[in-house]
Amino acid sequence: MHLTFYKYHGTGNDFIMVDNRNGLFPKNDVTRISSLCTRHTGIGADGIILLEDDNDSDFRMVYFNADGHEGTMCGNGGRCAVVFANKLGLIQQNTLFSAADGLHEASLLGEEVRLKMLDVETIRRKPDYLFLDTGSPHHVQMVHDLETFDVEKEGKRLRYSLYGKSGSNINFVEDNKENKFSVRTYERGVENETLSCGTGVTAVAISMHYLGLTDNKVVNVLTPGGQLVVGFEKDGSRYVNIFLKGPAKEVYKGSVKW
């Protein structure tokens, strides 16, 4: 038995995409899912995304981390899912789809996707970092010399020491001035640094505005995999009408022995 899959990436955050409208994918097989994501011996990816039928929207996106467990919202994965749904003929330019954190609107803009994120109600401020949920939990911390910073070591330490077993994604940020920030992210579930994290970039942009490091409500964030744009509005203490915009590309189609 063979599984047909597609490989997509959003600024280097890569995913195995599967059309699961027939419901045959074994979603409870943690070991098998993890093995597909394992680099060198599997297909290799930061996660697996299933596209499924949904009664309340155009489609449902189901996201699994590379460790084989179902995850929370993935911003880069959400943009890839929109492009994949378009390829399958399920949507045209605009869509409403369901994910782990609820319904999301999105639009195809040439080679980019503009994805609406959920509102951010609460930001927890600590002396050295901020914590907020942008569909997934995020720790945001300013650092110097980001390029040489040991993201894996320090990210792993904070992920477990501060947040326990459930963990949090850990974002390290450097201010490049002129409304541009650089970020490197340690992702839980992948348990390593990824080239980009969409919900992390969203958390960074909002955090930079919250800290007063930018007055702009459209913020450019540079990841190792490329640049993303985050926009938002402020409503009292809440951040609303948040969008994440950036590329999402198909890499190849393949078949793997199942």
* pLDDT tens track for 43-81: 999 999 999 999 999 999 999 999 999 999 999 999 999
Q: Could you confirm whether 37 is annotated as catalytic?
A: no
176 and 111: one domain?
A: no
Residues 6+ apart with CB under 8 A from 114: 106, 107, 243, 244, 245
Q: What Cα–Cα distance (Å) separates residue 243 from each residue in 96, 109, 206? A: 14, 13, 11
174 and 224: one domain?
A: yes
Q: What is the CATH number of the domain that holds 13?
A: 3.10.310.10
222 and 112: one domain?
A: no
Interval 181-197 mean pLDDT: 97
99 and 159: one domain?
A: no
64 and 139: one domain?
A: no
145 and 96: one domain?
A: no
pLDDT at 107 over 90: yes
Residue found by looking up tokens 């189901």 in the block: 62
Whether the CB-CB separation of 81 and 51 falls below 8 Å is answered with: yes
Q: 207: pLDDT confidence band, cut at 50, 70 and 90?
A: very high
Catalytic residue among 197, 219, 228, 230: 197
* Structural domain of 97: 2-116+248-257
pLDDT of res. 165: 87
Residues facing 156 on adjacent strands: none
pLDDT of res. 178: 74
The three-state secondary structure class of 185 is strand
pLDDT of res. 82: 98
Residues facing 97 on adjacent strands: 59, 104
Residues facing 64 on adjacent strands: 48, 70
Catalytic residue among 61, 62, 74, 183: 74
- The region of weakest confidence among 164-168, 192-196, 207-211, 237-241 is 164-168
102 and 127: one domain?
A: no
215 and 137: one domain?
A: yes
Q: Could you confirm whether 74 is annotated as catalytic?
A: yes
Whether the CB-CB separation of 230 and 242 falls below 8 Å is answered with: yes
What is the pairing mode between strands 47-52 and 13-19?
A: parallel
178 and 65: one domain?
A: no
Interval 157-162 mean pLDDT: 95
Number of independent structural domains in the chain: 2
48 and 150: one domain?
A: no
Report pLDDT digits (tens) over 211-252: 999 999 999 999 999 999 999 999 999 999 999 999 999 999
pLDDT of res. 115: 98
46 and 138: one domain?
A: no
pTM (two decimals):
0.96
| Average pLDDT over all residues of the chain | 96
184 and 232: one domain?
A: yes
